[in-house]
A and B are shown apart, each in its own frame.
Chain A
């Protein structure tokens, strides 16, 4: 009944804690935070010397592909991959088949997640019916059934008026609207960042303007409607500059970036010899953009790190670059790439946990991201000294598409607890 997590360093940004503390859990909730070595009668002791424990990590941007694309991933395999990556809660996007634009599909997702019984899965409903960008989806019914937010992600909502109405409508249900900020007309069939490298390689380029134009639009719409707007996968300097200024003006808006935007640049496309595992939307950007993203992570402009976990079947990736599917199967490397930033002293560990747990939880409005007494006992245990090599073929995800294959990383989640229950994964 009682469990005592002993000997670890507790990092909880919600309480400003970053020191050795023991954690007492009871009935699936945090009972108390104790001084190291304090006795707790009758508690099952879990020795975690040298480890770091944090509120369970929350990934608010994943694609679980089920229903409809089970050959790429299922909710069960996606959840298993999430647990392997150290996550206790994930939100999954609506671009399935059928699209999650009706309560029946939401129900189905929740049911499958319950059967998997691994991490918590929160569906994000569609903004528009069928993701067509024409008519609003049944936002109220979806919210009632369990959607934590709304997004046409995979695609932008090109019609500004529709986006405005969606944000206003969702406001009444206190739900966040997540924008995939991309002007498709500016993208115009581009497959990598537009710059001299794309010219040299002979690939059509996507200008940073394609993202920034929409970021600017969503900021203005957020101000106009007063609703809750979140910008997905920001990748450029221009984007974070716009968000920074908007926040300074007092606009209510949040945003995220993905590990590949602070770890890789467009050079990866050339260096890998057109390897489609470097193809992602938005594309890998310039060195300047990468530096700006890292700075924005440090100074608070960016609120969250999300993986944009996009598993694909090999048949869709081992093809010509221009027709390969975009996306990186990233949930299993997300944390370690974040720890790399900490190691390189770009951000502090407590800030990383804020970006990967507290803030994402607040953005989608779930009870997570904190280990205050009585909070659900969702806990991630990290071994900061564990050296490991990324091996795509050993991923728990069905998606083996990663540009990080073979990379040596330091630090990994070895255990997760969801509601006090230890969820098994490869690592523990």
Chain B
């Protein structure tokens, strides 16, 4: 299948068929991670640059492993937080890298819109590894893959996403991904953390977690950033975890086969109690494992041949 986009900027741009195709391909790549020799020559000779404007160990490591297992040459470029502190514009950084002829750029930024801006400046395909609070498409895809693995299908499932929706790129990508594949999504959080018009992205809203739990097949817990939220968006960590954190007692009315997910890293005791994080419903580690498989599929699909046609 020829994808309609040259760069993966967000799940908003992919059709249902394209998402299902990617998930299918990810299954084939996952098998490689179980071999004694976890390497295939598929991207041999390709150069992938991880251009991370925002520090991240997990996502970067996941992409690095994915690329190396496909025999690509993966290079990490940690730009400083913003181009202004360096005195170099975004355009300059991008063009300098393009001059080194990479085959793919994996970009993470603290500022929304950076991957899109870059995609208009350079001709190298770009995979968005998370920009500001806009989208985190690879996370969305690995979340879909994990749910599909456990539930066989996405259609008809009820998904709850709990936390600071306002500042969450994972929430936005999950909303697009799950609703495109036929699930119904409800976002849950304090009213101050639900951004205006979020329903238009394809979900419902609830300010309380208890009524949503019994009917949910999947509960996605988001990380709360203390530095960002405390004081202005919610009064204290204690109040947040009492009302919006997940504990075993809150799960008493949940479905027996409910899945608890989290994009990581987990604030134990805040959004998840340790019993839930390590408990039988949690598939958080599956998410991490599947992240490598999904990213292998994406690196494969987005680094086309010599004359890759642009969409």
Chain A residues in contact with chain B, CB under 8 A?
188, 194-203, 205, 273-275, 314-316, 318-323
Contacts and interface: CB of A to CB of B under 8 A. Distances in A.
Given A273-B117, A315-B89, A318-B91, A202 B82 contact: no
Contacts of A194: 196
B117 A195 contact: no
A21 B8 CA distance: 62
A61 to B, nearest CB: 27
Contact of B172 (A188, A198, A202, A321): A202
Nearest to A188: B232
Contacts of B87: 315
A320 B82 contact: yes
Contacts of A196: 196-198, 200
B297 to A, nearest CB: 25
Contacts of A275: 117
B229 interface: no
A198 B201 CA distance: 12
Contacts of A323: 82, 84, 111
Contact of B201 (A199, A314, A318, A321): A199
B263 interface: no
B197 A201 contact: no
B306 to A, nearest CB: 27
Given A199-B197, A320-B83, A274 B117 contact: yes
A274 B116 contact: yes
A201 B112 contact: yes
Given A273-B120, A274-B116, A195 B109 contact: no
A322 B111 contact: yes
B133 interface: yes
Which label, helix, strand, loop or mixed, suits the secondary structure of the A interface? loop
B234 to A, nearest CB: 15
B133 to A, nearest CB: 4
Given A201-B113, A320-B109, 4 more contacts: A201-B134, A274-B117, A322-B110, A322-B112
Contacts of A205: 195-196
A202 B83 contact: no
Interface of B: 12, 53, 82-84, 87, 89-91, 109-114, 116-117, 120, 131-135, 169, 172, 195-198, 200-201, 232
A200 B131 CA distance: 12
Contacts of B111: 320-323
A274 B200 contact: no
Nearest to A185: B232
7 interchain residue pairs of minimum CB distance:
A196-B197, A202-B134, A274-B113, A320-B111, A202-B112, A202-B133, A199-B195
7 contacts: A196-B200, A273-B113, A274-B117, A314-B89, A318-B91, A319-B84, A320-B82
A320 B117 contact: yes
A321 B114 CA distance: 8
A119 B71 CA distance: 65
B230 to A, nearest CB: 14
Contacts of B82: 319-320, 323
Interface centre among A196, A274, A275 (most CB of B within 10 A): A274
Nearest to B114: A320
A194 to B, nearest CB: 6
A203 B117 CA distance: 14
Contacts of B196: 194-196, 198-199, 205
Contacts of A188: 232
A205 B201 CA distance: 17
A322 B167 CA distance: 14
Contact of B132 (A202, A314, A316): A202
Nearest to A200: B201
Contacts of B132: 202-203, 322
Contacts of B201: 199-200
Contacts of A322: 110-112, 132
B253 to A, nearest CB: 31
Interface centre among A200, A203, A275, A318 (most CB of B within 10 A): A200
Contacts of B112: 201-203, 274, 321-322
